[in-house]
Amino acid sequence: MTIANPFPVVIVTGLSGAGKSTALKVFEDLGFFCIDGLPSEMSPKIADLILKFDNEYRGLALGMDLRQLEFLAGWDQAIKDFADIGISPQVLFLEAKMGELVRRYATTRRLHPLESKKLGLEQALEKEKELLAPIRTDAAMVLDTSDYSIHDLRRVIQTKWTALEEAGRGMRVHIVTFGFKYGVPTEADLVFDLRFLPNPYFDKKLKQLNGLDSEVQRYVLGSDVGKEFDTRFTDFISYLLPLYADEGRYRITLAIGCTGGRHRSVAEAESVLAALKKKGYSMSIEHRHMELG
C-alpha cells in the first residue's frame, strides 16, 4: 500500500470505541470526502465513482467496522477491487487499552456490536480484537488513543496523517519515546530501555530541559557510553529494517523509553531519526510523555 494516488483513499477502522468517528471528523476538516458505515464490498465502487468526478476534495476517508455485516468477509475482495482500479488505500487502525474502552462504553451507554446474551462487553472487545488482528497487521498506521482527549486525538491524527502522507513508498518507521513510569506504548513492534544512559534529571541545570535541547543531547550522547550506544544502536536498527522489509513489512514502530520519557529517550530518538532519514527511510516521531511531570 502506498499513497501515490493523486486522490488518496484512507480507510479508518479499528476497535469499537477507539475514536473512529472523531478521526473521520478530522479528515473532514482536512478536506476529505468522508463516509461512515460503508460495507467493505461497496467501498471500491464508491471510490471509483468519486474519482470520476472533478471535485475539490483532498481525498476520500471511509469509516468501516464490525457494525457492517460481512465487513471481514468482504475485506480481502475489497482490497483486490481497489487494486483493480489503481487505488492503494491507506488503513488507519485505531485501538485503545481494554480499561479505557470499557470506560468509554460505560460513559456513552452504547452496546458493542458483538455484545449478546452470550458475550459481555469485555468478551466482545476481546473477540473484536482477535477478529481484526489481520487488518491491524497490514495497517499503514496504528494509533493507540488511550491517553488522548478528543482535542489531543484530533491533533495527533492530523500530525500522523501528515507523516503518512509524506511517507511515500518503502519502509515507514515511526518512533515513539515514552516514560516507563507512564507505561509502554501498546503499538510498539520493538521496545528499547535506555535507563542505563547518563540521566540529566539529576543535574539542576538540565532537569527542566528536555531531549530536544542541545545541552541535554550533549550530556546524554556526549558521554563515552552514550557515544558508543548511539553508534551501535543506529547500526543495529539499520541492519534490522532491510530484514523486515524482505519479509514484506512496510511499517515498523520503535518505542524508545527512559524513566520519564523526557531526556534520554528523546535525545537518542532524535539522533536515530536523523540518521535513518539520511538513509532514505520515511520517518515520523512522537514524544508521547515528554511534557508529563
- The ranges assigned to domains in the chain are 9-167, 172-287
Query: 9-167 domain in CATH 3.50.50.60?
Result: no
Q: Is 223 annotated as a binding residue?
A: no
Q: Is 292 annotated as a binding residue?
A: no
Alpha helices in the chain (DSSP H): 20-29, 43-51, 75-84, 98-108, 121-138, 150-167, 214-221, 224-246, 264-278
Q: What was the pLDDT predicted at 216?
A: 94
Q: What was the pLDDT predicted at 1?
A: 37
Q: What was the pLDDT predicted at 191?
A: 97
SS3 206: coil
Q: What was the pLDDT predicted at 163?
A: 58
Q: Is 16 annotated as a binding residue?
A: yes
Residues (pLDDT < 70) of the chain are 1-6, 54-55, 69, 117, 160, 162-170, 248, 293
Q: Is 21 annotated as a binding residue?
A: yes
Q: Decide: 206 and 219 in contact? Cβ < 8 Å.
A: yes
Q: What was the pLDDT predicted at 199?
A: 93
Q: What was the pLDDT predicted at 169?
A: 43
Alpha carbon distance 236, 230 (integer Å): 10
Alpha carbon distance 37, 41 (integer Å): 12
Q: What was the pLDDT predicted at 167?
A: 46
Q: Is 37 annotated as a binding residue?
A: no
Q: Is 15 annotated as a binding residue?
A: yes
Q: What was the pLDDT predicted at 2?
A: 39
Q: Is 275 annotated as a binding residue?
A: no
Q: Decide: 260 and 181 in contact? Cβ < 8 Å.
A: yes
Alpha carbon distance 183, 193 (integer Å): 12
Query: What amino acid occupies position 70?
Result: E
Q: How many residues does the chain have?
A: 293
Query: Which long-range contacts (C-beta less than 8 Å, at least 24 apart) are formed by 165-168?
Result: 165/3, 165/8, 166/282, 167/3, 167/282, 167/284, 168/2, 168/3, 168/4, 168/282
Query: What amino acid occupies position 135?
Result: I
Alpha carbon of 62 to those of 94, 162, 188, 271: distances in Å? 13, 17, 25, 36
Cell of 43: 467501498
Q: Within 13 Å and on the Cβ side, how many CA atoms surround 185?
A: 29
Q: Decide: 55 and 183 in contact? Cβ < 8 Å.
A: no
Q: What was the pLDDT predicted at 4?
A: 43
Q: Is 68 annotated as a binding residue?
A: yes
